[in-house]
Amino acid sequence: MDQQQVREYLLNKPFSVETFPFGEDVAVFKVKHKMFATLSRGKLGKDENESENIYWLNLKSDPQEAIMLRDIFPSVVPGYHMSKVHWNTVKLDGTVPKGEIQRMIDNSFDLVVANMVKKDQQSILLHR
């Protein structure tokens, strides 16, 4: 998936909005005012083989699953500027299958919704 496909998938989640609280370079995706993803251009200097055109996607993850995903996919690393326990960064370099990225987005969204008050959870579930 490229950054535009990811952006569209994120925005198709119920009540999803895109904001830019950290400037125009970092898109923050929220559901009912709670962040479930960020999307930004990769940071140069971290890896000499990395192109500046690779986008990074931060997603919330179950701590055990976060470690497992990092072991399976070299493009999945501990969350950049996030809690390394609960967030992963997915480098959108084409090495992670589309279905897996969608599954990780779904899980991030679901983890955030699960921590909301019941009224908000129910309103979101009605729109699935």
Give the CATH number of the domain where residue 8 resides. Answer: 3.90.1150.30
The pLDDT tens digits of the residues spanning 5-36 come to 999 999 999 999 999 999 999 999 999 999 99
The pLDDT tens digits of the residues spanning 81-125 come to 887 879 999 999 999 999 999 999 999 999 999 999 999 999 998
Q: What is the pLDDT of residue 53?
A: 75
Model-level pTM? 0.90
Q: Is residue 126 predicted with pLDDT exceeding 70?
A: yes
Residue 38's alpha-carbon distances to 30, 59, 96, 122, 127, in angstroms, are 9, 7, 17, 24, 22
| pLDDT: which is higher, 123 or 49 | 123
Q: Give the contacts of 121 (CB within 8 A, at least 6 positions apart).
A: 113, 114
What's the burial of 107, exposed, middle or buried (CB within 10 Å: 0-12/13-18/19+)? Answer: middle
Tracing tokens 């493009």 back to the chain, one arrives at 75
Provide the number of structural domains found in the chain: 1
111, β-bridge pairs? none
Range of the structural domain that residue 58 is part of: 3-125
The pLDDT tens digits of the residues spanning 53-84 come to 799 999 999 999 999 999 999 999 998 888 78
Note whether 108 and 61 are within 8 A (CB).
Answer: yes
Output the average pLDDT for the chain: 90
Q: What is the pLDDT of residue 49?
A: 53
pLDDT class of 45 with cuts at 50, 70, 90: very low
Helix axes 98-114, 118-125, angle to 10 degrees: 140
